[in-house]
Amino acid sequence: MVTPGPAGSAAPNVPPAPAGEGFGELRSGNLGVRIATTDHEVEAAQALRYRVFYEEMGAHPDAQTRMLLRDRDEYDAVADHLLVVDHALGPGPEGVVGTYRLIRAEAAAQLGRFYSADEYDISPLTRFPGRLLELGRSCVDARYRDRAAMQLLWRGIAAYVFANGIDLMFGCASMPGTDPDALAVELTYLYHHHLAPPEIRPRALAHRYVDMRRMDPALFDARRALASLPPLIKGYLRLGGFVGDGAVIDRQFNTIDVAVVVKTDLVTEKYYRHYEREQHG
């Protein structure tokens, strides 16, 4: 479950953005999900990202990344970092087994851009009359890729969206490999069944644009195509998510990316019902 996208150099001179509203910690057995509160916890998330993206998924590190064994860039300083923590390992950095990077519009403004703008024209999103949240750098330790950890990540995102009044969330989601024809079924399915409405449709930048229409959609079974998608993308679609126009090949991370857009109505509605149950028994 990964959404890496292109790496950049760390930017220690970028001041941290004011943190978004937290939600405490949600627990499921030994596992908990919450926002990182210390630099050491952020570094643990970066180390997990390195292990998953570079050691496991075959991304190509630059010299600094290889030396530090950390996946990090300038956006880390302004983002909130969602963590899944295994309390059996410890309550702090030692227990970090999952992560998701959350960048609110206020945080992106400190750098003058959203991360996804390196791959997509996101002007339809920045014109959206509501609060935006960019999602990215999602990964879970291989030992924890089960239903419990992934459900906790989604619960954490829902709680964060609810607490911060987010109206639209978006980001780049990745599929393994750099040959779009090897993903012809998946890309064609996404384009024909889940293309975003024009008013919220990102489009891959012209110099990076890869047409998602790789084959005749009548030649494959849509249900099987949906089943073959990575769990993260399926999760977005279950929330009523859409994809943008065009895929992008990321050779550094050995992936093909698609832009994903989710209006948060369903997210906040489900979380509100859960919150009400918790408050009123």
**In this structure, is residue 147 part of a structural domain?**
yes
Rg, C-alpha atoms of the chain: 18
Predicted local distance difference test score (pLDDT) of residue 5: 46
Question: What does the pLDDT read at residue 271?
Answer: 59
| pLDDT computed for residue 54 by the predictor | 96
Q: Is 99 inside any structural domain?
A: yes
- Going by C-alpha positions, the residue among 51, 49, 58, 37 that lies closest to residue 10 is 49
* C-alpha torsion angle, residues 7, 11, 17, 21 (rounded to 10): 40
Displacement of CA 199 from its chain's centroid (Å): 22
DSSP-assigned letter for residue 136:
E
Arithmetic mean of pLDDT over the chain: 91
For residue 34, the domain's CATH number is 3.40.630.30
> Does residue 16 fall inside a structural domain?
no
pLDDT classification of 273: cutoffs 50, 70, 90? low
Taking residues 100-125, what's their average pLDDT?
97
**pLDDT at position 18 over 80:** no
Q: Looking at residue 8, what is its pLDDT?
A: 45
State the Cα angle at 179 between 256 and 8, rounded to 5°: 35
pLDDT, residue 267, reads 79
3-state secondary structure of 63: helix
- Answer yes or no: is 15 within a domain: no
Q: From CA 108, how far away is CA 48, in angstroms rounded? A: 23
Q: Which domain holds residue 145?
A: 26-280
Please name the amino acid found at residue 217: P
**Dist. CA 47–CA 213, nearest whole Å:** 36
Cβ atoms within 10 Å of 274's Cβ, excluding its own: 15
* pTM, full prediction: 0.90
Residue 13 lies in a domain: no
Domain total in the chain: 1
Does residue 226 fall inside a structural domain?
yes
- Report the C-alpha gap between 78 and 164 in whole angstroms: 16
Structure-derived torsion over alpha carbons of residues 41, 44, 46, 47, reported in degrees to the nearest 10: 170
5 within a domain of the structure (yes/no): no
| Residue 9: per-residue pLDDT | 44
In a domain, residue 17? The reply is no
Q: What's the CA dihedral at 240, 159, 130, 4 to 10 degrees?
A: -70
Flag whether pLDDT at 3 surpasses 70.
no
pLDDT single digits (tens) 147-201: 889 889 999 999 999 999 999 999 999 999 999 999 999 999 999 999 999 999 9
- Mean pLDDT value of segment 3-31: 70
The predicted model gives 201-210 an average pLDDT of: 98
H helices of the chain, where? Answer: 39-50, 63-68, 105-111, 123-126, 147-164, 184-194, 222-227, 231-238, 265-280
